[in-house]
Chains A and B, each alone.
Chain A
């Protein structure tokens, strides 16, 4: 199976690899794993407490090319977004952008889970209640 050019690009030049200070109040950490393949992904965000904008995002992923590309893309996408906007990112958007084949869809699910886990961690630290999803219609 061939990887798409975008996956290869993210794999060869991953964006935002690294670590943020886990103990900082402004940092949310999401650590998730895919039980199916044994991949582990850590995604961290630093949120501006005033604006709730994600100013920095870092990731570290141990896994296949698709998992690395998915998390690399996820950090690119969350940067500059508010917490609420970042929650809108769907794994299907990642699948589309990276042209992931069906067997690699779970990598994108993992990236979405990581974003949500990081945001959840930040909310817990900062005493923000989990926003209840409101039906649009």
Chain B
């Protein structure tokens, strides 16, 4: 595996000498995300394997190219899981891609995001330096939290080599219930439920029904379901997996799919656009022909942000536009890791 790291470093040295960009890929399962980037490919899928997993220490360390499916399987053998429920787009999805894109699934508002579970990262920056930040222990405040900065940076700050993540026990029991409701009633219900100490682990309104997943102690889950008084839904596990992996018919569209992250109280008016609401009312998926600018404005007015999941905006921003001050800070940070602009240039923003 040392040869692979040396090869990446050599590739970087060449790229710097020629001032030519590198495009970092893993399983390529999420290539639809972000802006187009060009460059010689650095394929991380061959740098794979779980390095260490200690169930009683609640962490796992894996190489970036390790398949997410392999990690999920190994954790499940010990009744543990990645609590942020990352999308498993296909059987090529790697853990490196999960971290680089920073996308979490339905459990995110209840158990934390990808970033919340990152304990440490080993990476190579744009100068070819092999560095480790964070570690494998639960609490660590030595140095700036650069492993979490790398999370969701789409490879623009460094090539992720290895990742340590905290893991959680699987819930002892899980069930899903559902009820047909109007959008306004469903949103109010989500908010009402999230204000109580209930074992909710996912919520979704698909425009017709409100789905709630309950996880934890069996007795408590059953009691809670009685209080909520929806109908039991046997197909719960498949439903949440499809939602997590963008496999619902809603996502299978030629029209742009937007992801709006807003406060739970935003109560967005979606007009005629098909939508799905998740995360207790704080995540909206919109299937819309409206221009990108309009999507960004809607999210911005609510104090949130928007991004294009897939579709085409003809070269405009796909991630929420930054203010001038924030863009210049992003540029300075990019410069601090990758002064020659070698790593995934333009993937996040045209000028980064």
Do A and B assemble together?
no
Q: Give chain B's interface residues, CB within 8 Å of chain A.
A: none
Q: Give chain A's interface residues, CB within 8 Å of chain B.
A: none
